[in-house]
Amino acid sequence: MKVHVPRGESGALKRLGHIHMTVFDPDGRRVVGFLVKRPDVAGLVRRSDCFVALDALEQRGDDLVVTDRRWGTGTAAQRRLGLDWDRCIMWIGMDARTTKGKRLGLVSDAEFDRETGQVVSFFVGDGVVAETLVGALPIPVSMLRGCSKNCMVVDSAAERLALSGGVAARAGEGYAKAKAQGSKVAKKVDAQVSRAVAKGSKALGRQLGKTKGMFGSFMDEYKKARGSGT
């Protein structure tokens, strides 16, 4: 999603960059803002990311606009919010495990209240292709137990939760079978996309939006793997 800032008294908008990471407070249960990737200078010199506070953003159409650049961005915003920046968490792309050590997958998205930033639930899956086929595991924030060794730790009961979305999930297939079929199809993914998924570098919704044109052939392969041929 693109982020803009007002320029001068005219209020004309200037592009700041695009959101590429969600920032959560040290407790991990509240979204406090986003890291915005700014355009390179002259296409050569890479610029550092800019933190933009959630409460300083206003949605206009499909984009976001910074309403207070002075106090809504950078270290000024961090101080205003009283954030211990070094302890803030970026869940998206992190491994999720239960308190018993069972790996559930990668944290791919989060549902939160737009006004308060309070998280409702996290979504965990095996990457964009597998999630399209199998679905994601919605984990209520009440099951979050913390962060340990760069992993999200959740209650062991999370592994018994039902899948949400995905072709196989909607078809009522078992989780193990769906994951196995999803793995077969996932091998056909473009190498570049596979690397991006493996790094957990992008939120689920944005990754799907950029690659949805590729999924037609994946669906065909998935149906063949299921033996339906339709």
Residue 174 sits in a domain whose CATH number is 2.30.30.240
Domain co-membership, 212 together with 159 = yes
Q: Residue 188 sits in which domain range?
A: 95-226
pLDDT at site 120 = 93
Domain co-membership, 144 together with 75 = no
Q: Are 61 and 68 in contact (CB under 8 A)?
A: no
pLDDT at site 131 = 52
State mean pLDDT over 119-128.
Answer: 81
Domain co-membership, 221 together with 107 = yes
CATH of the domain at 83: 2.30.30
Percent residues over pLDDT 70 in the chain = 64
User: 145-168: per-residue pLDDT in tens?
Assistant: 999 988 999 999 998 886 665 544
User: 74-120: per-residue pLDDT in tens?
Assistant: 999 999 999 999 999 999 989 999 999 999 888 988 999 989 999 99
pLDDT at residue 26 above 50? yes
Domain co-membership, 124 together with 160 = yes
User: 191-217: per-residue pLDDT in tens?
Assistant: 444 444 444 433 333 322 333 333 334
Domain co-membership, 117 together with 22 = no
Q: Are 153 and 147 in contact (CB under 8 A)?
A: yes
pLDDT at site 84 = 92
Q: Which of 87, 103, 130 is the last residue of a domain?
A: 87
| Number of structural domains the chain divides into | 2
Local structure of 5: helix, strand or coil: strand
Higher pLDDT, 219 or 146: 146
Domain co-membership, 126 together with 40 = no
Is the alpha carbon torsion for 70, 71, 72, 75 positive or negative?
A: positive
Domain co-membership, 109 together with 204 = yes
pTM: 0.69
Domain co-membership, 101 together with 175 = yes
Q: Which of 87, 121, 136 is the last residue of a domain?
A: 87
Q: Which of 37, 70, 87 is the last residue of a domain?
A: 87
